[in-house]
C-alpha cells in the first residue's frame, strides 16, 4: 500500500488530479454564480404563499403574525444569548425564518426574524390578501369592506369582487394621470423653460428685461393658460382616483383604511391556482421590464434603466465603430510598419487594461468640465450659470465609454484585417484597383465579421461598466428619458439611468436593502443575460469567420 502511494506520487498523477480539481472549482463557481442569480432573480416574481401564525414572544405573549417567508437559516443557540429567547437544554441549532410582514406604515418594520419552534398553528388562509401599494410597500391583511367616499358599499364576501372591479377603474384613472403628467404637462413645462431661456438670450443680446419679457409674453400666457386647464383636469383625476377606499384587518387586529388610489395590485396568493400564478408571474415580469420604478427604486419596474443602458450603448456604438475601424485600417494598411507602429499597437492594446475608473476621471475632467464648459459658454450662454453640457450627461457617458472600448474594436478589426490573405489584396491590386477600392470592395467586406465581433465585445464591455459612468452621467432617478416628444426629440445633455448603476444604488444606497434585494437580483439577471447573449454572439461570429478563412487559405 505504502509503495503504491509512493509510486502514485512519483508518477505525478495526484497533481494532475489537483489541477483537474482547480478546473472543477472554477466551473462550479461560474455555474453556481449564474444559477444563483437566475434562481433569485426569477423566483422573485412568483407569488409566495402568505402564512398566518401565532408567535410566542420571549415574554410569553402570543401575537398573530402574517407574512411571507423570505429566508430561512439555522444558527447556533449561542447567538441568542442575551436576547431573552430561551431554548431547551441540549439544543444546539435554531432554525429561524425571516418573515416579510409588510405594513410598514403601521408597524414600522418590514421584516422580522421568527424562531421556527415558537411558531404555533401555521396556516394559509385563502382569504389573506396582499396589496401592492405605491407607497409604504406591501400590505397584508383581510379585507372587510369597500367604501366610496367613506361610505361602505360592500361588506363581507362580496367585497373582494367589488374591490377588483373598482381597482380596474383606479388603474384606468392612473394611466390617464400618467399621460397627463408626463406627456402634456411635461411638454408645457419644457416649452416654458425654453421660453425663459429665449428671454434670457434676448437680454444677453442687449435687450432690456422688460422688452424681452414682452417679446415672449404672448406665447407665455397661452402656455400658462393651458397649464392651468391641465392642472384642474389633473386635480379632478386625482380626486376621482381617491374616491374609493377599502378597510382591512391587519395582523394586530387593527382596522386600517387604504385608499384605492394607493393600490397597484390586490391578490390572494393562497387562493391562486397554478394558472393564476403563471398569469401573475408574467404580469409581474411585464411590469418589471416596462414600468417606472416606485418607492426609491425598490419596487416597480426598471424600464428607464433599460432604456438608458440601451440608449447609451447605441450612442457609444455609433461613436466607436467608425473611429475604431479607421484607426485599425490605418495601423494595418496605411501606416509604415516599423518600431513606432509596434509601440503604438502595444500601447493601444494595453489601454484596454487601464482601469475603467481612470477613463471616468478623464471623461469628467475633459469632456464634462472642459469640453462641456466651453460648449456652454459658446452655445448656451442663456442658461448659465446652470450648466447644459457642462454637467454629466448621456453624451459624455457614451463618449467616455467609446474611448474605453475603442482599443477593443481596434484590436479585433486589426486581427480581422491581418487574417485577410495577402493573395486577395495583391490580386485586386493586380487587376488595376486602387488601394482604396481594394480596401472598400474586398478587404473590408471580408473583415466585417471581425469588426462585428469587436463591436459586440465593446458593447458587452460597455453595458456592464459602471465605475466610469458614476462620474460622467448616471443618476439614481432620471426625471425624463433622453428621448421624448419635445423638440429636438433627442436630449443628449440629460442624465440617465443604467442597469449596472441601478444594482449598485438599490443594493447599497437604498433605505430598505432587504426589501429591494430580490429586485436587484432580477436586474442583475437581466444584465447578465444581455451580456452573455452578446458575448456568445461574438464568439459565434468569430467561429464562422474562422471557417470562412480556412476555406480561403486552401
Partner 1 sequence: METSSEFPVSLDNSALNARQRWRMIKDRVAHHAVGLGGVGVIIAILLIFFYLLYVVFPLFLPASITKLNSYPVPGGTEAKSLHVALEESATMAVRYTNGGDAVFFDTGSGEVNTTIPLWEGDVRSIAVDSTGSGLVALGLEDGSALVVQHRFNVSYPDDLRTVTPEIEYPYGPEPLRIADEGVLLEQLVLTDTDRRLLLAGVADDGWVRLAAFDKKSSFISDEVTLKRNAGVVETAGVAPAFVRVSPNQKRLYIAREDGTLLHYGVQDPRKPELLETVALTDNGVELTSLEFLLGGFSLLAGDSEGRLSQWFPVRDEQNRYHLERVRGFEFQGAPITGIEPEKRRKGFLASDSEGRLGIYHSTAERTLLLDRVVDSRIRNLALSPRANRLLVEDTRGNTHIWSVDNEHPEVSWSSLWGKVHYEGYDESLYTWQSSASTNDFEPKFSLMPLAFGTLKAAFYAMLMAMPLAIFGAIYTAYFMAPKMRSVVKPTIEIMEALPTVILGFLAGLWLAPIMEQHLPGIFMLLLIVPLGVLLFAFAWRQLPGSIRRLVPEGWEGLLLIPVVLFLGWLAIALSVPVEIWLFGGNMPQWLTNELGISFDQRNSLVIGLAMGFAVIPTIFSITEDAIFSVPKHLTFGSLALGATPWQTLTRVVILTASPGIFSAVMIGMGRAVGETMIVLMATGNTPIMDFSIFEGMRTLAANIAVEMPESEVDSTHYRILFLAALVLFLFTFVVNTVAELVRHRLRRKYSSL
Site for partner 1 in 311-330 (CB under 8 A): 322-324, 326-327, 329-330
Tell me if residue 314 falls in helix, strand or coil: helix
**Binding-site member from 172, 435, 441, 546 for partner 1 (CB under 8 A):** 435
Going by C-beta distance under 8 Å and a sequence separation of 6 or more, which residues neighbour residue 88? none
**Binding-site member from 47, 102, 360, 454 for partner 1 (CB under 8 A):** 360
Which parts of 513-542 interact with partner 1 (CB under 8 A)? 513, 517, 520, 524, 527-528, 531-532, 534-536, 539
Dihedral, 23, 24, 29, 35 alpha carbons, nearest 10: 130
Q: Which residues pair with 130 in a beta bridge?
A: 140, 267
| Residue nearer to partner 1 on the CB measure, 261 or 407 | 407
Q: What is the DSSP string of 522-541?
A: HHHHHHHHHHHHHHHHHHHH
Is 411 a binding residue for partner 1 by CB under 8 A? The answer is no
Q: How far apart are CA 170 and CA 181, in angstroms?
A: 16
Q: How far is the CB of 385 from partner 1 (least distance, A)?
A: 13
Which parts of 227-266 interact with partner 1 (CB under 8 A)? none
Is 347 a binding residue for partner 1 by CB under 8 A? The answer is yes
Is 209 a binding residue for partner 1 by CB under 8 A? The answer is no
Contact 120, 55 (CB under 8 A): yes
Q: Say which residue the cell 400666457 belongs to.
A: 221
Q: Which of 230, 251, 245 is nearest to 99 (CA)?
A: 251
| Residue nearer to partner 1 on the CB measure, 446 or 534 | 534
Is 361 a binding residue for partner 1 by CB under 8 A? The answer is yes
Contact 408, 351 (CB under 8 A): no
Q: Counting runs of H as helices and runs of E as strands, what totals does the chain give? A: 18, 13
Give the count of beta carbons closer than 10 Å to the beta carbon of residue 383. 18
**Binding-site member from 116, 120, 161, 437 for partner 1 (CB under 8 A):** 437
Is 354 a binding residue for partner 1 by CB under 8 A? The answer is yes
Contact 441, 455 (CB under 8 A): no
**Binding-site member from 344, 375, 424, 477 for partner 1 (CB under 8 A):** 344
**Binding-site member from 212, 470, 497, 522 for partner 1 (CB under 8 A):** 470
**What count of residues does the chain have?**
554
Is 78 a binding residue for partner 1 by CB under 8 A? The answer is yes
Tell me if residue 88 falls in helix, strand or coil: coil
Q: How far is the CB of 378 from partner 1 (least distance, A)?
A: 19
Q: Which of 521, 35, 112, 51 is nearest to 298 (CA)?
A: 521
**Residue 498: what are its φ and ψ, rounded to 5°?**
-145, 140
Going by C-beta distance under 8 Å and a sequence separation of 6 or more, which residues neighbour residue 528? 34, 37
Q: How far apart are CA 358 and CA 396, in angstroms?
A: 14
Which parts of 32-51 interact with partner 1 (CB under 8 A)? 33, 36-37
Is 356 a binding residue for partner 1 by CB under 8 A? The answer is yes
| Residue nearer to partner 1 on the CB measure, 145 or 510 | 510
Contact 273, 206 (CB under 8 A): no
Q: Which of these segments, 14-22, 152-160, 178-186, 248-256, binds partner 1 (CB under 8 A)? A: 14-22
Q: How far is the CB of 353 from partner 1 (least distance, A)?
A: 4
**Binding-site member from 2, 3, 22, 551 for partner 1 (CB under 8 A):** 22
| Residue nearer to partner 1 on the CB measure, 199 or 542 | 542
| Residue nearer to partner 1 on the CB measure, 259 or 464 | 464
Is 407 a binding residue for partner 1 by CB under 8 A? The answer is yes
Q: Which of these segments, 136-144, 255-263, 286-294, 332-340, binds partner 1 (CB under 8 A)? A: 332-340
Which parts of 375-404 interact with partner 1 (CB under 8 A)? 403
Amino acid at each position: 500500500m505504502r509503495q503504491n502511494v509512493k509510486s502514485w506520487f512519483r508518477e505525478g498523477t495526484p497533481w494532475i488530479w489537483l489541477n483537474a480539481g482547480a478546473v472543477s472549482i472554477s466551473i462550479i463557481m461560474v455555474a453556481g454564480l449564474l444559477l444563483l442569480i437566475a434562481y433569485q432573480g426569477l423566483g422573485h416574481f412568483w407569488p409566495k404563499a402568505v402564512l398566518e401564525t401565532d408567535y410566542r414572544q420571549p415574554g410569553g405573549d402570543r401575537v398573530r403574525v402574517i407574512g411571507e417567508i423570505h429566508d430561512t437559516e439555522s444558527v447556533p443557540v449561542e447567538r441568542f444569548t442575551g436576547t431573552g429567547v430561551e431554548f431547551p437544554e441540549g439544543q444546539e441549532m435554531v432554525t429561524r425564518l425571516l418573515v416579510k410582514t409588510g405594513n410598514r406604515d403601521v408597524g414600522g418594520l418590514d421584516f422580522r426574524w421568527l424562531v421556527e419552534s415558537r411558531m404555533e398553528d401555521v396556516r394559509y388562509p385563502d382569504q389573506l390578501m396582499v396589496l401592492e401599494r405605491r407607497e409604504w410597500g406591501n400590505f397584508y391583511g383581510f379585507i372587510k369592506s369597500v367604501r366610496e367616499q367613506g361610505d361602505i358599499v360592500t361588506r363581507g364576501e362580496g367585497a373582494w369582487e367589488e374591490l377588483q372591479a373598482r381597482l380596474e377603474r383606479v388603474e384606468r384613472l392612473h394611466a390617464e394621470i400618467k399621460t397627463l403628467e408626463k406627456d402634456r404637462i411635461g411638454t408645457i413645462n419644457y416649452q416654458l423653460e425654453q421660453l425663459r431661456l429665449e428671454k434670457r438670450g434676448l437680454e444677453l443680446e442687449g435687450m432690456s428685461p422688460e422688452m424681452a419679457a414682452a417679446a415672449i409674453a404672448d406665447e407665455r400666457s397661452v402656455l400658462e393658460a393651458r397649464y392651468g386647464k391641465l392642472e384642474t383636469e389633473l386635480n379632478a383625476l386625482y380626486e376621482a382616483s381617491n374616491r374609493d377606499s377599502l378597510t382591512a384587518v391587519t395582523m394586530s387586529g387593527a382596522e386600517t383604511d387604504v385608499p384605492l388610489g394607493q393600490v397597484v395590485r390586490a391578490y390572494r396568493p393562497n387562493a391562486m391556482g397554478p394558472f393564476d400564478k403563471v398569469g401573475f408571474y408574467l404580469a409581474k415580469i411585464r411590469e418589471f421590464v416596462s414600468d417606472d420604478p416606485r418607492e426609491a427604486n425598490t419596487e416597480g419596474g426598471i424600464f428607464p434603466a433599460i432604456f438608458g443602458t440601451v440608449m447609451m450603448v447605441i450612442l457609444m456604438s455609433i461613436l466607436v465603430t467608425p473611429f475604431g475601424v479607421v484607426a485599425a485600417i490605418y495601423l494595418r494598411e496605411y501606416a509604415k510598419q516599423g518600431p513606432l507602429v509596434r509601440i503604438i499597437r502595444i500601447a493601444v492594446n494595453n489601454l484596454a487594461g487601464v482601469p475603467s475608473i481612470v477613463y471616468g476621471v478623464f471623461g469628467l475632467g475633459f469632456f464634462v468640465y472642459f469640453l462641456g464648459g466651453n460648449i456652454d459658454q459658446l452655445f448656451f450662454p442663456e442658461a448659465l450659470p446652470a450648466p447644459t453640457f457642462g454637467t454629466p450627461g448621456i453624451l459624455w457617458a457614451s463618449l467616455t465609454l467609446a474611448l474605453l472600448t475603442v482599443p477593443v474594436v481596434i484590436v479585433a478589426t486589426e486581427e480581422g484585417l491581418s487574417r485577410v490573405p495577402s493573395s486577395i489584396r495583391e490580386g485586386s491590386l493586380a487587376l488595376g484597383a486602387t488601394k482604396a477600392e481594394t480596401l472598400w470592395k474586398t478587404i473590408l467586406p471580408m473583415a466585417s465579421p471581425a469588426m462585428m465581433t469587436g463591436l459586440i465585445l465593446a458593447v458587452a464591455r460597455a453595458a456592464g461598466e459602471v465605475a466610469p459612468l458614476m462620474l460622467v452621467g448616471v443618476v439614481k432617478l432620471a426625471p425624463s428619458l433622453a428621448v421624448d416628444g419635445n423638440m429636438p426629440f433627442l436630449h443628449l445633455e440629460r442624465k440617465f439611468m443604467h442597469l449596472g448603476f441601478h444594482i449598485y444604488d438599490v443594493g447599497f444606497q437604498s433605505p430598505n436593502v432587504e426589501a429591494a434585494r430580490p429586485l436587484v437580483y432580477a436586474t442583475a439577471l437581466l444584465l447578465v443575460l444581455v451580456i452573455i447573449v452578446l458575448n456568445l454572439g461574438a464568439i459565434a461570429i468569430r467561429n464562422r469567420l474562422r471557417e470562412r478563412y480556412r476555406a480561403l487559405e486552401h
